[in-house]
Amino acid sequence: MIGIIFNLPNLLYVVAVAISFLKPDYEMQSPIAYIIVLTLFELAHLRSRIFRKDDGHPDDMYSIIFAIAILWDVEAKFIKSLHYTVFPPPENVFSIFTQDYDKMIQGFFHSIGLIIAGVGLGMFFGVFLGLLIGWNLRARQSLTPIINVIAAIPALVYAPYVVAVAPDFKSASIITIFLGIFFPTLMNMIGNVAAVDKRLIDSAKSLNLSSFDMIFKVLLPDCAIPVITSLRIRISAAFMILTMAETIGSNTGLGYYVRKWSSFADYERVFAGIILIAVVVTAINSLIKIFEGHTMKWTTA
Amino acid sequence: MPDIDVKNVSFEYEYENKKYLALDNVSLRIQDGEFVCIIGQSGCGKSTLITLMEGLQKPLAGQILIGDKNVDGPGKDRCMVFQHYSLFAWLTAKRNVIFGIKQVYPKMPKKDLDRIATDYLHKVGLEGYENKYPRQLSGGQQQRVAIARSLAMNPDILLMDEPFGAVDTKTRTELQDLLLDLCRNEEKKRTVVFITHDVDEALYLADRIIFMQPKKIRRDIQTNFGKVRKRDELTSSPEYQSLRRELIGLFYERVRDEIAEEGVYI
Ligand SMILES: Nc1ncnc2c1ncn2[C@@H]1O[C@H](COP(=O)(O)OP(=O)(O)OP(=O)(O)O)[C@@H](O)[C@H]1O
Ligand SMILES: [Mg+2]
């Protein structure tokens, strides 16, 4: 019981909250939002203490989180190696969420729609064509070098071109994300199929599978793990591409938000936007992980 | 039902631009309904020969006929149990068996599929393991699922590459009897080609034993023990003992030859 109250993360939490009330020598926003965030972390910490089911070292992790918060706060308010407008205190950054939440929610839905469309299409066609090309030796050998070259071009390089040429921003973003996801997925998928254990293929062949069954009931599930694992990387990549595209040709979206306010030198909003994107990407990754756990029972079982 | 006719078959493996002749002009005719065991030392080409019969590889020279049809790929009349485990990791034991049955009987209703799969899994002693994934099974258990799958597919010709290699002695005995049961006593007679390292296993199972030396068939022995066998009576019979001595002699002779070829002195 005593261990639940007296421990390093709790101590650091109290210190962080105390410091948030101290006033610097400039005008500061209300610390309420910041304290709420700290408290959410504290609740998560208490939960891990009480239920003790998290593996790893949750105490260390929460100590580090609170320590970073304290350092950030102290630096921005009192040490001030950077001016507070350039490196704003967490109180100001988090209070942005209470002011701008409507724009943020709108931006979130705008961006997430484009990402789902682009990544979905890119993954679907990449996996599908990858299976077909990977399975056909001649197609694989003749196309692989070409696809490798195309896949090596970062989508960011041609994003401005697509944005300029496409009829509207929506299609431009989807096309760019699609291309940026499709080619790497295709390349990996061809490699995955080529690397499927020959013994598995032999045993499948000896069951007299049709080509359709061979591709979709044997190769696809056998390659499913790397595909789902790569989904997380692909979504981060899609966010990068989208942010880039949004900075060129959009007037809404999460990337646009960050870009716009950094050109106005409103770094509080820039920080808030970056944190929001991090939260969104992390949330998506957790969703993928849950999905992975459901479909991939047989690998961990 | 047709015979398997291996006619002057040679086979070469190619790797890193080197060639290795694994079979050299092998001929063998297996009668319909015969239970043939192939034995011989490791690396002599047993697996190679059986994969050619299955149609997973094509002979370099010669041909393999089943009846009067040339083998050019796996067929519904044949089913192979591999030396290595060959289950689909993403399907449970039962679903693996069902997957196999479905390839042969695509229209079979779900209920029957389920019943037959469960039935065969019980026959190979895997009661209670129906819903486990291959990862959760031991090597021998996985191999038994593979055996259940090929038996459930009810093929005319069963090709088995050291199927009982990873199974303990007791289960092995049971599986041998199950296999004999399914191949002899049921209405449908099957042709079985069965690779093993174990002389006693070969003698107990086979109507005919093919002894291979590298690349070639060395001896072709008819066992003549009759169809119905009692293990104890059989193993103590003088015919069994003399055949056993002969086969073991062949194994050692090979070893002696090799040592002589390599110029090693003992
Ligand atoms: N994929 C391959 N590439 C090159 N050489 C191979 C390949 N597979 C087998 N060989 C060679 O062909 C020969 C025969 O192999 P095979 O697998 O038929 O032997 P085996 O009689 O089944 O042996 P074991 O009893 O150990 O299973 C061996 O000398 C082996 O080295
Ligand atoms: Mg072998």
B133 vs A208: CB contact, 8 Å cut-off? no
Residues A27 and A120 in one domain: no
Last residue within a domain, chosen from A39, A71, A87: A87
Please report the pLDDT score of residue A170 as a whole number. 86
Q: What is the pLDDT along chain A (301 residues), one digit of tens a residue?
A: 677 788 899 999 999 999 999 998 888 899 999 999 999 999 999 988 888 765 778 889 999 999 999 999 999 999 989 888 899 999 999 999 999 999 899 989 988 999 999 999 999 999 999 999 999 999 999 999 999 999 999 888 888 888 889 888 888 889 999 999 999 999 999 999 999 998 899 999 999 888 899 999 999 999 988 888 888 888 888 888 888 788 777 778 888 888 889 889 899 999 999 999 889 888 988 888 888 887 777 776 5
Angle between helices A90-135 and A267-295 in degrees, nearest 10: 40
Instruction: List, as ranges, residues 198-257 from A with C-beta within 8 Å of B.
Output: 199-200, 202-209, 213, 217-218, 221-222, 224
In tens, the pLDDT along B114-150 reads 999 999 999 888 999 999 999 999 888 998 999 999 9
Query: What's the N-to-C CA distance of chain A in angstroms?
Result: 35
Task: Give the closest residue (by CA) to ligand 1 atom 12.
Answer: B22
Residues A107 and A223 in one domain: yes
Query: For residue A214, what is the DSSP state?
Result: I
Residues A22 and A143 in one domain: no
Residues A73 and A97 in one domain: no
Helix, strand, coil tally for chain A in percent (to 5) = 85, 0, 15
Q: For B98, which residue in chain A has the nearest alpha carbon?
A: A207
| Cβ–Cβ < 8 Å for A52, A38 | no
* ipTM confidence: 0.83
Residues A74 and A194 in one domain: no
- pLDDT higher than 50, residue B266: no
Closest-approaching ligand to the CA atom of B21: 1
Residues A71 and A196 in one domain: no
Residues A233 and A276 in one domain: yes
> Which of B29, B4, B56 has its CA nearest to residue B161?
B56
Residues lining ligand 1, Cβ inside 6 A: B 13, 15, 20, 22, 42-48, 83
Residues A269 and A225 in one domain: yes
Q: Confirm or reject contact between B129 and chain A (CB < 8 A).
A: no
Two tokens at B198? Answer: 């174990």
Q: What are phi and psi of B190, to 5 degrees?
A: -115, 155
Two tokens at A228? Answer: 């789902």
Residues A78 and A115 in one domain: no
Structural domains present in chain B:
4-228 (3.40.50.300)
H-type alpha helices, chain A: 2-5, 8-21, 32-51, 58-74, 90-135, 137-152, 155-165, 169-194, 198-205, 211-213, 220-249, 254-263, 267-295, 297-300
Domain boundaries, position A74: 2-87
- pLDDT higher than 80, residue B259: no
CA distance A209 to A207: 6
Ligand 2 centroid – CA B30 distance (Å)? 20
Residues A106 and A82 in one domain: no
Please report the pLDDT score of residue B194 as a whole number. 95
Please report the pLDDT score of residue B252 as a whole number. 83
Residues A116 and A57 in one domain: no
The residues near A13 (Cβ < 8 Å, ≥ 6 apart) are A38, A41, A42, A45, A62, A66
B100 vs A207: CB contact, 8 Å cut-off? yes
Last residue within a domain, chosen from A35, A64, A87: A87
Q: Confirm or reject contact between B82 and chain A (CB < 8 A).
A: yes
Confidence grade of residue B179 (pLDDT, cut at 50, 70, 90) = confident
Q: How many CA atoms within 13 Å lie on the side-chain side of B101?
A: 26
CA distance A232 to A254: 18
Two tokens at B233? Answer: 């009576």
A206 vs B103: CB contact, 8 Å cut-off? no
- pLDDT higher than 70, residue B102: yes
Enumerate the residues of chain A whose CB falls inside 8 A of the CB of residue B56: 202, 205-206
By three-state DSSP, how is residue A273 classified?
Answer: helix
B40: region left, alpha or beta (phi > 0 left; psi from -120 to 50 alpha): left
Q: How many domains does chain A have?
A: 2
| CATH number for the domain harbouring residue A243 | 1.10.3720.10
CA distance B190 to B182: 8
Two tokens at B149? Answer: 């799958």
For residue B44, give the ligand 1 atom closest to its CA. 21
Last residue within a domain, chosen from A43, A62, A87: A87
CA distance B82 to A300: 25
Enumerate the residues of chain B whose CB falls inside 8 A of the CB of residue A204: 88
| Cβ–Cβ < 8 Å for B92, B133 | yes
CA distance A173 to A235: 14
Enumerate the residues of chain B whose CB falls inside 8 A of the CB of residue A298: 89-91, 133-135
| Cβ–Cβ < 8 Å for A190, A223 | no
CA A83, distance to chain mean position in Å, is 30
Residues A237 and A268 in one domain: yes
Q: How far is B105 from chain A (nearest CA, A)?
A: 12
Say if strands B61-66 and B69-70 run parallel, antiparallel, or are unpaired. Answer: antiparallel
* Angle at CA of residue A256, ends A155 and A150, nearest 5°: 5
CA distance B175 to B140: 11
In tens, the pLDDT along B183-238 reads 776 667 789 999 998 899 999 999 899 999 899 999 898 887 776 677 877 888 88
The residues near A37 (Cβ < 8 Å, ≥ 6 apart) are A90, A94
